[in-house]
Structure 1
Amino acid sequence: MPSAIRLTPTLLLALASSTALADGDLMTRNTLTGDWGGLRHQLEEDGVKVTGDYSGETAYNTHGGLHRSARYSQNIKLGVQFDLSKLYGLDNGGKVQLTINDRRGNSASEDLVGNRLPIQENYGGLYTRLTELSYERTLFTPALNVKLGYMAMGNDLGGLDSGILCNFMNAGFCGHPLNMSGGSGWTNYPNAHLGMRVKYDFSPSWQLRVAAFNVDPESNGNSSRAWHLGPKHTTGTVVPVELVYKLQGELPGEYKLGYYYDSSNVKRIGSSKQVAGRGGHYLLIDQAVWNDPAMPGRSLHAFGQYSASSEAASPFTKWYGTGVVLYKPFASRPRDTVALGYGRAVQNPRSRDVLEDAAFDAGQQFPNIDGAEQLIELSYGYQATPWLNLRPDVQYIVEPGAFSGKDIDNALVVGLQVKATF
């Protein structure tokens, strides 16, 4: 495959300028590139939906951590969905999704702060890859939806459907609790594996989700496997089960209770022996707590995250996250948001024992540090146009060296996230 074009802010402006005259007002259209003279709309009517987006995240460490400097990372995602019912006139023909992803840049966490929770949620796996080739349709009844193929399991499970958590830039919030993937075969986007996901709607409020995915650690972050759908070295199967409740009414809410089990045999932390299987459970909540009666659309949501994973083989065993998001903070800014969150990632005591033993063997004193990394994040989502979002962001990281066993000063990081829909 040819190398991907890096989409910089300059290139974004060039693309916008080239399509501004052809597709109307740049500031009011839904996508950067517009409707392509009507072709895009016609393709979707015929059953071919083309999508694309860009995210760029710049983070500067102003205090503490390792170094004073800035780092930039970016993610480009291009996709096409084929509606087989429209394309071939089939009854419930289903949909095929093809997605390609490219990531570039440098890590503020690795280079500047030395912490565990990625400051830039779009950093990791810096190459072009296939991230999804799947087929989805209802089966037997509209209440039963099945999806199978090559895909990232975190797209359908382990996160809140409302998207409230991606009002933050740190990967500790955006997505799903990181101890899931840190201690099992659960994979973060854009890592994809062969699998199958089933959803069943008991009612408009209750839904059950069950999935099974191949576990292949050697393919994660491996550029030589970027276009290989089949596994290289299967170690087992990870099976998540998730119960979803969606509260209806003036103050809507979303509640998820999940459990997952990975059948892989893995090395115990601090031991040469292996453990057969590893698992975990989680609870995710997004609840509206206030609506402004004088300003429709203005509301305050509270969220909560709790996740616990096996102590035998997980680098950190618990994650706690909580916070609030204010939608439509000003009457003149109906699509803006203000988000404030707190998170705590608890290191596995066995991992800490390994670090302490290594320091003792090297004749070094182990620093007096907390066994958990903590995060406070504040962001403002400015919806500049329907297709462009600018998010100034501040993160304060407490005990950045908790997982590495190093005494690192608390860090204050300022950043900017830019998201554009093509």
Structure 2
Amino acid sequence: MLFSFRAMLTSSLCSGLSLCLFAPSPALADDLMNRSTLTGDWGGERQKLTDKGIKLTGDYSSETISNLHGGIKRGTRYSQQIRIGAQFDLSKLLDSPDAGRVQLLVNDRRGHSATEDLLGNRLSSQENYGGEYTRLTEFSYQRNLFSPALSTKLGFMVMGTDFGGMPILTNFVSAGFCAHPLTMSSGSGWGNYPTAHWGGELRYDVNPSLTLQTAVFQVNPEYNTRSSKAFSMPSNGTTGAILPLEAIFNNNAFLNGQYKVGWYYDTSNAPKIGSTQKSNNRTGAYVLIDQAIWRDEQDPQSVLRLFGQAASSNAATSPMRRWYSVGLVKQKPFASRPNDSISFGYGRAVLNSRTRDVQEAKATNLEDAEMIANLDNGEQMLELNYGAQVTPWLLLRPDLQYYIEPGAFSGKKRDNALAAGLQVKATF
């Protein structure tokens, strides 16, 4: 059943691309190239459902990465993700004002990891790799409380959807940038897409420039990653709760920007690195910046944005102690390509010194111990890509990635790695 469903979606994408290239008539080609989604409006039925309060969504992404030099070995790996979702506007469906919204989302991932098989680094070169099975990613209810400024969201969902990320970072292929600092999920109960947890969120828009939000989420590292529990929304196996706090500052000037400052506390007991003892909590903090530094006054869509990230995690439990990144995204790089982008980023993940001590202690001889001791204390990466919005529903992103000290986190000496790839995104 699931295989047939996936095959149907993949076939639909391939058929759409074929029509795009070999359209039998100019009218059909023009419609296909300009519609907002690959499958269109279904003869008007899609819009009718939306008007009634039912919005159906679907998208596909693939990332093909080839290692050209360094790392473990040369080769190519492919990974893909398909998402199917539905949003139910209860205000329309029940004819009741401010009744809230129900969100349902199913995620399917397949493929192989270029990082694990070819590069040997820590920062995954494919942001859509991880948890290669079909699962329920969200079943939530969201509504306002007392006023439009205060809202809540409850259910089984991904905490990283609303905390700790920035939309501008989805312009990158590597998980090192897209879309959260990896310190968050390293050595704590923080969970990013597509892994869902039971939880509740509270958001308050103080004014147009400031939003405060907090939440509590279940920490369940064992059951949440089991494919056998993909649709069971497990509550057993809970080790604690994680509580994030986040302040969002919006600069609404002509050169607009957004800044996020966050902190989280995990109540779980977790093993200390290099010790038989356990830590009775885990904490972390982050600062995220997205700021326009140039905008064409005659063409405001043409803008150059600067982003930055700085994050730290628990010193006792997290192998990745700190993460830093900075980069630029040029939106509308050419007058004839209003929806394209050029993105460049640099990032550095810093290894916990306790992890390095453990690596040296496990060395079987003095030569290996000296080699490990001389490794850099972190991994660095650079990414350059071009996002070509071929149609409103199809994006192609050729990509280059370069990794410095890719063996730093595994305690192995590896040559710097150069990888090239292509990301494809299509909206059904």
Change (3 A) 1:35 1:8: closer
1:207 corresponding residue in structure 2: 211
Distance (Å, rounded) in 1 between the aligned partners of 2:308 and 2:233:
35
Q: Which residue of 2 aligns with 1:12?
A: 13
Q: 1:155 aligns with which of 150, 155, 161?
A: 161
Q: Quick check: 1:215–1:237 contact (8 Å CA) kept in 2?
A: yes
Normalised by the size of structure 1, how large is the TM-score? 0.96
CA–CA separation in structure 1 for the residues paired with 2:231 and 2:132: 14
Q: Which runs of 5+ in 1 are unaligned?
A: none
Normalising by structure 2, what TM-score? 0.95
The residue correspondences of 1:291-306 to structure 2 (distance < 5 A) are 291-306=295-310
2:62 is aligned with 1:56? yes
Whether contact under 8 Å (2:224, 2:234) holds in the other structure is no
Distance 1:234 1:33, change over 3 A: same
Residues 399-408 or 2-11, more deviating: 2-11
Cα deviations across residues 205-233 of structure 1 (Å, max 9, x unaligned)?
10001010000000243101101113230
Residue in 1 aligned with 2:400?
394
C-alpha distance in 2 between matches for 1:59 and 1:66: 14
How far does residue 10 in structure 1 lie from its aligned partner after superposition? 5.7
What residue in structure 2 maps to residue 119 of structure 1? 125
Q: Match of 1:5, as an amino acid?
A: R
Q: Which residue of 1 aligns with 2:337?
A: 333
Partner of 1:318: 322
What's 2:357 paired with? 353
Q: Is the 8 A contact 1:53 1:77 kept in 2?
A: yes
Aligned-partner Cα distance in 1 for 2:53–2:190: 32
Q: Secondary structure at the match of 1:25?
A: helix
Match of 1:344 among 332, 341, 348: 348
Please state if 1:230 is matched with 2:231. Answer: no
* Cα distance, 1:24–1:333 mapped onto 2, change above 3 Å: closer
Paired residue total:
420
Q: Is the 8 A contact 1:71 1:106 kept in 2?
A: yes
1:130 aligns to 2:131 (yes or no)? no
Where does residue 273 of structure 1 map in the other structure?
Answer: 277
Q: Deviations over 1:63-93 (max 9, x none)?
A: 0011110000000000000000000101111
Pick from 281, 284, 290 the counterpart of residue 286 of structure 1: 290
Query: Which residue is 1:185 aligned to?
Result: 189
Q: 1:140 to 1:117 in 2, by over 3 A?
A: same
Which amino acid is the alignment partner of residue 389 of structure 1?
Answer: L
Moved segments of 4+, more than 4 Å:
6-11, 15-24, 360-363
Q: Give the Cα–Cα distance (whole angstroms) in 2 for the partners of residues 231 and 372 of structure 1.
A: 36
1:99 correspondence with 2:105: yes
Identify which range, 6-15 or 231-240, moves more after superposition: 6-15
Deviates most, 77-86 or 23-32: 23-32
- What secondary structure does 2:363 align onto? helix
Equivalent residue for 2:171, pick from 167, 172, 177 = 167
Change in Cα spacing, 1:6 to 1:285, as seen in structure 2 (3 Å) is farther
CA RMSD of aligned residues (A): 1.8
SS in 2 for 1:85: helix
**Displacement, 1:7?**
6.9
Cα distance in 2 for residues equivalent to 1:296 and 1:243: 27
Change (3 A) 1:238 1:55: same
CA 1:330/1:363 → structure 2, altered by over 3 Å: closer, same or farther?
A: closer
Which consecutive unaligned segments of at least 5 residues does structure 2 have?
Answer: none
* Counterpart Cα distance in 1 of 2:193 and 2:155: 15
Work out the CA distance in 2 between the residues paired with 1:2 and 1:168: 29
String of CA shifts for 1:323-347, please: whole Å, max 9, x gaps: 0000000000000000000000001
In the alignment, does 2:376 pair up with 1:370?
yes
Does residue 218 of structure 1 match 2:222?
yes
Q: 1:344 to 1:23 in 2, by over 3 A?
A: same
Cα contact 1:23–1:36 (8 A) shared by 2: no
Q: 1:6 to 1:220 in 2, by over 3 A?
A: farther
Name the SS for the 2:116 alignment partner: helix
Aligned AA for 1:55? S
Give the SS at the match of 1:202: strand
Secondary structure of residue in 1 paired with 2:176: coil
Q: Which moved more, 1:216-225 or 1:181-190?
A: 216-225
Cα distance, 1:408 vs structure 2: 0.5
Give, as a single letter, the amino acid of the residue that structure 2 aligns with 1:326.
K
Aligned amino acid, residue 100 of structure 1: V
Letter paired with 2:313: S
Structure 2 residue matching 1:354: 3-state secondary structure: helix
